[in-house]
């Protein structure tokens, strides 16, 4: 029998070690929590792009995946920047200008005035041989 003055973290005579059991469970839980935090952090640019219905969602996903597999933080930073800022929309104004120009060229130009009809002289015959 062990003396009573021994601290409680020392293993008992039955072979059980409560401190080792606690530390094993704690270490496994800590590794799992760090893994979840790491993967959640790497998925953050994709979530941002998906929530805002970003047009460059594929690029953001590829950059986040590259950052995850290569452990290169530059890819992750670029993915965050692409997900955060929208590219300027140059196409809509150009399409509007093109549509306006097309509508303007389709309009019919005013027709030139028709020449005035020649006055008919009743005294002259209309056709040769007609009297």
Contact status, residue 106 vs residue 112, Cβ threshold 8 Å? no
Cα–Cα distances in angstroms (integers) from residue 36 to residues 5, 30, 32, 55, 111, in the given order: 42, 10, 6, 27, 75
Reported pTM: 0.53
Averaged pLDDT, groups of 10, the chain, 131 residues long: 72 79 95 94 87 80 89 89 82 88 76 73 59 52
Q: What is the DSSP string of 19-55?
A: HHHHHHHHHHHHHHHHHHHHHHHHTHHHHHHHHTT-T
């Amino acid at each position: 029998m062990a003396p009573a003055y021994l601290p409680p973290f020392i293993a008992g005579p039955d072979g059980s070690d409560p401190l080792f059991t606690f530390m094993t469970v704690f270490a496994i839980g800590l590794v799992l929590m760090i893994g979840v935090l790491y993967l959640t952090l790497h998925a953050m640019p994709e979530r941002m792009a998906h929530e805002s219905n970003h047009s460059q969602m594929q690029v953001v996903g590829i950059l986040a995946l590259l950052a995850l597999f290569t452990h290169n933080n530059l890819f992750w930073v670029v993915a965050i920047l692409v997900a955060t800022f929208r590219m300027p929309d140059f196409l809509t104004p150009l399409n509007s200008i093109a549509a306006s120009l097309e509508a303007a060229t389709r309009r019919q130009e005013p027709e030139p005035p028709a020449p005035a009809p020649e006055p008919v002289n009743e005294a002259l015959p209309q056709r040769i041989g007609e009297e």
